Amino acid sequence: MKTAAETAWPIALADLEIWERSFKWVVRRCPLCSKKRHVHGGGLVGEDPRRMLGHRAGHCDHADNRGYILVDADSAATESILRRFGPNVSGGSGALAEKYR
Ligand SMILES: [Zn+2]
């Protein structure tokens, strides 16, 4: 019989970054394999990357593939990014598309 600790999904704190025209959630330190900087997609710039949080399959090399709960590590930083690049930025998406064209 497995303990709760073995069956529960661990928490993976991740920071929001922008790569090219996409949001990425970058795991600070993987709770499963301790390898740094697993990168998960967060959708396109102009969308809400927070909808991609929650349970995600682990990007680990080893066999423990139960995944983890992706959690925004710094919601203040995320809010700051989304004020400029997130959904519903008035007049922002056009300028942004120009920037990344
Ligand atoms: Zn890992």
Q: What is the pLDDT of residue 36?
A: 77
Domain boundaries, the chain: 4-100
pLDDT given at position 101: 43
Q: Are 13 and 71 in contact (CB under 8 A)?
A: yes
Say if residue 96's pLDDT is above 60.
no
Angstrom distance (rounded) from CA 65 to CA 49: 23
Amino acid symbol at 86: G
pTM, rounded to two decimals: 0.79
Residues 6+ apart with CB under 8 A from 45: 18, 21, 22, 23, 85, 96, 100
Two tokens at 77?
Answer: 């930083």
- Give the Å distance between the CA of 28 and the centre of ligand 1: 10
Expressed in angstroms and rounded, the spacing between residue 13 Cα and the centre of ligand 1 is 12
State residue 95's pLDDT score: 46
Cα(12) to ligand 1 centroid in Å equals: 9
Quick: pLDDT tens for 26-85.
Answer: 999 999 988 878 999 999 999 999 999 999 998 888 766 789 999 999 999 999 999 999
**19 C-alpha vs ligand 1 centroid, how far in Å?**
21
pLDDT bucket at 89, cuts 50 / 70 / 90: low
Residue 92 has what pLDDT?
47
User: What's residue 53's pLDDT?
Assistant: 97
